[in-house]
A and B are shown apart, each in its own frame.
Chain A
Amino acid sequence: MRVRIVGAGPAGLYLAVLLKKADPSHDVEVVERNLPDATFGWGVVFSEGTLGELRDADPETHVEITDTFARWPTVDIRYRGRLLRSRGHAFSAIGRRRLLQIMQRRALGLGVGLRFETEVSDVNGLAAEADLLVGADGVNSLVRRTYAAEFGEQVAPQGCKYVWFGTDLVLDAFTFIFKRTDAGIVQVHAYPFDERTSTWIVECPETTWRGLGFDAMNEGESLAACEALFADELRGHHLLSNRSLWTSFPLVRNDTWHRPGIVLLGDAAHTAHFSIGSGTKLAMEDAIALSQALVRHPRDIERALLDYELERQPVIERFQQAAGESAAYFTRVERYAHMDPMPFAFNLLTRSGRVTHANLAQRDPQFVRVLDAWFPGGGLLEPGAVAPPPLFAPWKAGAVELRNRVVRASAEPDRLPALARSGAGLVVAGPVAVTLDARISPDTPTLDDDASAAAWAALVDDVHAARAAAAVSLTHAGRRGSTRPPTHGADVPLRDGGWPLVAPSPIAYAPRMPVPRAMDAGDMARVGQAFAAAARRAAGAGFDMLEVDMGHGYLLASFLSPASNRREDEYGGELVGRLRFPLEVLDAVRQGWPEDRPLAVRLNVMDGTRRGLQLGEGIAIAGDLAEHGCGLIHVVAGQTVPEAAQADYRRGFLTPLADRVRAEARVPTLVGGYITTPDEANTLLGAGRADLCLLDVPDTDLERELVAAAGEEVAAAMAVA
């Protein structure tokens, strides 16, 4: 087989080595436009998982690579003058130049042709003279660009502005530095890669970058400026430039990585943001997968290329997802700058979704112990203290203390005591309608008279007997009312026995749903009074917390959204108008609800449609609600209109929204969004993305999972207490 590889980076050289090793009769040549020792950048990082694969694929290069590796188990986080260390990790790194030398020597020894300083101008011509042409020519791949349409190429900038320096300061840990400047936070990702040198990447959002004048500096000036900025951390050492220029990271994706006789490898096919340090790892794994596929299908190159792509694409998608989360985290670090060092560091470590509370506890039990001990007290660290994980830390608001952060909700009142007995700290009854004509369906429970209040009081007693707190979520269905029970569907109108609907504007919610009547002043006054009356009855029934429903397109949410509120009076128009009635209701509820019991709002922070409420407005609303006495935002999104184009039902889909509300409006948050495991909950709570977590697990599994997650001591303590 005649193979021509464009690009003598790690991917191209490694593929050449593996192919030639598998069959010395292959004619393999690598074409590179630069000199053998020319390379951008400094050191590259590997994880232990990759090393095993390298050993299996080619023991010779594996030995040489690992002999020169810098290895370390520690992540250092420098933030607000504090140094936090997390141990138990397994990083290793090597100078990029050194890695290439090893590969080049091995390739030459096996009889691979290496042509340096050779510019490829005619990709088609090169392809025509080979059985297989490999585009291993990096992020700006000529091979990819030549067939951009066929590959379905997509390239877009991702994350912050960054510049890749070296330094003669030899670090002993993967080091993150967060440096406050007048223009915002600038961060460093640094790690050692040989006995003399470390990689030192500086990055910041574009606004900060401009604010610090980096946009107007040349290479030397920006090096000097970064050296001055990090003078303390560099401890007298210098930054080193290797054509180190500020740039944006290009996210490369392709619909497919091969066409007849041509295949893309490594960065040419896909990139993953440098902040998860996986680019070289992925490129070399690509080379292994492709060489193995070609061995499996010696006479069918097309089948081999397809196999390679089928094997690698799901892996790459996972890394690109994680890398995207990581890149996005670094663009918004500024918003977390108010956080205490422990949750700040845990938020950093868990940013990409690959590290969780449970797996960090395996790697670095000490770090997690400190986090857990810090968590409930917010800074009180007693030496040797052992605390349960965040999900089992108590939560206090006013006179109410929850024994843990587990929240469970049910629309069926009879299920509440069982949920409380299953170990939840808070059970939420809801939605509960404030009047009969505020119901969603005939099944919706109400809290509209003394008889219903008495029934609720009995249920609350049962919940309290199981040592859980009880909340009620008060709703008015608005234009989503008068539907059949949820067993039959949602928003399917009642045929018989329905009731008239009201809404801010006369627009039907969904197909076949009736057109609601636009509310007048009298309607608004009645609804406000109904909420206030229900709040008084809820207090009397002994509920510990009250939630006002401004979510999912029900009445109050439909006032907030421009997609459903087209009023031209003072209750519509700009946000201040759309917020007016929901705020009046909240104020009325506040009057009827005891001062010392927490008042929450279930708030749609975005609608997920272009003409609806946007997240920025949602965060602003959360701030306004807090000023009116709301102490907890239960973050929800969507359903304002039934066909919301941006709906995205990934696992934990509401967590990023809760995180933004909590960080920017500085209001405690309750989050659900299909969180099914205690580990997910511990991770998001420990990282400060929310304060309480609505778990979505089948009832039968809950108790078992909670007990397993809390650890036996905690379970025993819970049973005794």
Chain B
Amino acid sequence: MRVGIGLPNTIPGVDGPVLVDWARRADAGPFSTLAVLDRLAYDSIEPFAALAAAAGVTKRAGLATMIAIGPLRNTALLVKQAVSVDALSGRRLTLGLAVGARLDDYETAGVEHRGRGARLSEQLATLRDGDDLGVRPNLRLLVGGMTGPAFARMARYADGYAHNGGPPRAFARAADSARAAWSDLGRPGRPVLWGQGYFALGDEEAGATYLRDYYAFTGPFAEKIAAGNLTSARAIRDFVRGYAEAGCDELILFPTVADLEQLDRLAEVVS
């Protein structure tokens, strides 16, 4: 299993220099991939813009959206953004897409929430069929989501599955569903499986405050997500081992505190 790190693009107050420094230092570290989250109605940096900035200061690490909310975006522009980041980075993009969980992102974008799944499928079909739009045929696509239709969509159009976080056993269950859907759709081999988790090494309270705020829309669930924040080297090692055992191919650890020291500490733990 490979381990990547998140860019702090959805932590409020993060500015360009922090993001760019973070990317540069992560590229020099033991991380396989730099990944971003996506939120429209929240103090954050747009995921493709963040990856474009990261592309300019990195050479090695993969770049990934984990995930981007496809249906918020016009399909042609989404494809253009993805193709552009892929070109700027020298073909290092992995494009993860899902419908997202927040109604207010849709309201802010002026996009109907209803029909979001079918629209995401159209976007994926376009990306898969998109040689004329400049999409390279082997651009790696991931799809996220926990519903039956989401797994079917993943197996139909993508190369793998992007899980939305949680303890290893939750990942293992979703991984089973992803493999089951893959086989049901007649795809050869197995889907690539990506997982994610949150960490804060040292400033536990700031991390929890951010997660409670970021996930406030989930109601009581926000507390549980905050409680799952990995706040010690041991917790991270257990988590990494649990995901590896559950068959995860690439695990992204997202920061909850946008301090470069966090990155260095994580590098020590995972290297």
Q: Which residues of A contact B (CB under 8 A)?
A: 150, 152, 255-256, 258-259, 303, 306-307, 309-310, 314, 411-412, 431, 484, 486-493, 495, 510-512, 608, 638-639, 642-651, 653, 672-674, 696, 698
Q: Known: A486-B186, A489-B157, A510-B121. Contact between A642 and B152, CB under 8 A?
A: yes
Picked from A152, A510, A674, the residue with its CB within 8 Å of the CB of B179 is A674
Bound complex: CA A489 to CA B151 (Å): 13
Q: Known: A255-B219, A255-B220, A492-B157. Contact between A647 and B125, CB under 8 A?
A: no
Stretch in contact with the other chain, from B3-11, B19-27, B126-134: B126-134
> Does B265 sit within 8 A of A, measured CB to CB?
no
B interface, over-half SS: helix
Chain A residues within 8 Å of B152, by CB: 638-639, 642-644, 647, 649
Q: Known: A490-B187, A642-B121, A643-B121. Contact between A512 and B126, CB under 8 A?
A: yes
Q: Known: A489-B128, A511-B126. Contact between A649 and B180, CB under 8 A?
A: yes
- Do residues A653 and B180 form an inter-chain contact, with CB atoms below 8 A? yes
Chain A residues within 8 Å of B220, by CB: 150, 152, 255-256, 258-259
- Do residues A644 and B149 form an inter-chain contact, with CB atoms below 8 A? yes
> Does B181 sit within 8 A of A, measured CB to CB?
yes
Q: What's the minimum C-beta distance from A479 to chain B, rounded to whole angstroms?
A: 15
- Do residues B148 and A490 form an inter-chain contact, with CB atoms below 8 A? no
- Do residues A314 and B157 form an inter-chain contact, with CB atoms below 8 A? no
Bound complex: CA A255 to CA B221 (Å): 9
- Of the four ranges (under 10, 10 to 19, 20 to 34, 35 or more), the interface on chain B belongs to 35 or more
Chain B residues within 8 Å of A150, by CB: 220
- Interchain residue pairs with CB less than 8 A apart (13): A150-B220, A255-B219, A306-B224, A490-B185, A490-B186, A511-B121, A511-B126, A638-B152, A644-B148, A645-B149, A647-B152, A673-B184, A696-B179
Q: What's the minimum C-beta distance from B81 to chain A, rounded to whole angstroms?
A: 20
Chain A residues within 8 Å of B91, by CB: none
- Do residues A649 and B184 form an inter-chain contact, with CB atoms below 8 A? yes
Sample of 16 further A-B pairs with CB below 8 A, known A489-B156, A639-B152, A674-B179: A152-B220, A255-B220, A411-B188, A486-B188, A489-B158, A490-B155, A510-B125, A510-B156, A645-B148, A646-B148, A649-B177, A649-B180, A649-B181, A651-B180, A674-B180, A696-B180
- Do residues A674 and B183 form an inter-chain contact, with CB atoms below 8 A? yes
Q: Known: A490-B185, A511-B122, A650-B177. Contact between A495 and B129, CB under 8 A?
A: yes
A interface, over-half SS: loop
Chain B residues within 8 Å of A412, by CB: 188
Picked from B128, B149, B181, B221, the residue with its CB within 8 Å of the CB of A492 is B128
Q: What's the minimum C-beta distance from B206 to chain A, rounded to whole angstroms?
A: 17
Bound complex: CA A445 to CA B183 (Å): 19
Bound complex: CA A672 to CA B227 (Å): 39
Chain B residues within 8 Å of A495, by CB: 129, 131
- Do residues A511 and B224 form an inter-chain contact, with CB atoms below 8 A? no
Bound complex: CA A674 to CA B147 (Å): 17
Bound complex: CA A491 to CA B122 (Å): 12
Chain A residues within 8 Å of B17, by CB: none
- Do residues A696 and B129 form an inter-chain contact, with CB atoms below 8 A? no
Chain B residues within 8 Å of A307, by CB: 227
- Do residues B125 and A511 form an inter-chain contact, with CB atoms below 8 A? yes
Chain A residues within 8 Å of B137, by CB: 488
- Do residues B156 and A642 form an inter-chain contact, with CB atoms below 8 A? yes
- Do residues A674 and B121 form an inter-chain contact, with CB atoms below 8 A? no
Bound complex: CA A572 to CA B177 (Å): 34
